[in-house]
Amino acid sequence: MLSYQHIYHAGNAADVHKHAALALVLDYLTRKDKPLSYLETHAGRGLYDLSAPEAVKTGEAAQGIARLHASFAKDHPYTTALAATPDGLYPGSPAIARALLRPTDTLHLAELHPQEYAALRQNLRGPHIQTYNQDGLELAQSLCPPTPRRGVMLVDPSYEIKADYAQIPKWLSALTRKWNVGIVMIWYPILNSGAQAPMVRALQSDHPEALTHEVRFPPARDGHRMVGSGLFVVNPPYGLASDLRRLTALFRALG
């Protein structure tokens, strides 16, 4: 049974980290005319109303995007994606991809929760967008290598089930055997318990050339276990590492 709903967390500091990094990667990839594939294993609903009671209740967006938005340069691709989103809404990762990709690119978006999936289908429509109401990790294995082969996959589980941490390294090894040219971005929370650490060590040992980028921020409220956000990027575009270092500096301003 899925209980996680991203509306409670949309726009938090971790979302900003993941979405800004995704926007940078898409910006690199779209500098060439060649079409590409964008795949998401855990898409969510795509668009979020941050004035909804659920978002206001946690106050996470107030600590995240509301404080960080102005720090992004006008020409940062994340700023471009935010500006392309209808007024009053916050773009989830599928909407960021739609904003930065071209009609010649193909989007594959998986979301398992029936209501989130219904909202995703409504919010993300287009002849080049395919949505799937099924397990995203399984779907990814069946679609890879995608057509076109050039592209990026975002893996953004909610880690509701502790087994997710153990599953991801094995899943990634199988995936990269099929799709060795793909950029794969795996998001993970940095928890004060350190529960994510064995997974990160396993990923780094299996993919020594990959990039790990982490930012820290104060917990969204007293007792909140998440104290930072991490991204593990296989086949990172050249230049991404230095862009992400600039992102680290921006997060330092959060204290």
Contacting residues toward ligand SAM, per CB under 6 A: 2, 4, 6, 15, 18, 41-44, 92-93, 110-113, 116, 135-136, 156, 158
CB of 10 to ligand SAM, least distance (A): 7
Q: Which is nearer to ligand SAM, 60 or 111 (CB)?
A: 111
Give dist(CA 131, CA 110) in Å, integer.
6
* H helix intervals, 190-238: 197-206
Q: Which is nearer to ligand SAM, 68 or 238 (CB)?
A: 68
* H helix intervals, 51-92: 53-58, 60-63, 65-68, 77-83
Please list the active-site residues: 156
What is the token pair recorded at 37? 């594939």
CB of 156 to ligand SAM, least distance (A): 4
> What DSSP string describes 134-183?
S-HHHHHHHHPSPSSS-EEEEE-----STHHHHHHHHHHHHHHHH-TT-E
Q: Which is nearer to ligand SAM, 34 or 57 (CB)?
A: 57
CB of 208 to ligand SAM, least distance (A): 27
CB of 183 to ligand SAM, least distance (A): 16
Using DSSP, state whether 131 is helix, strand or coil. strand
Give dist(CA 8, CA 126) in Å, integer.
27
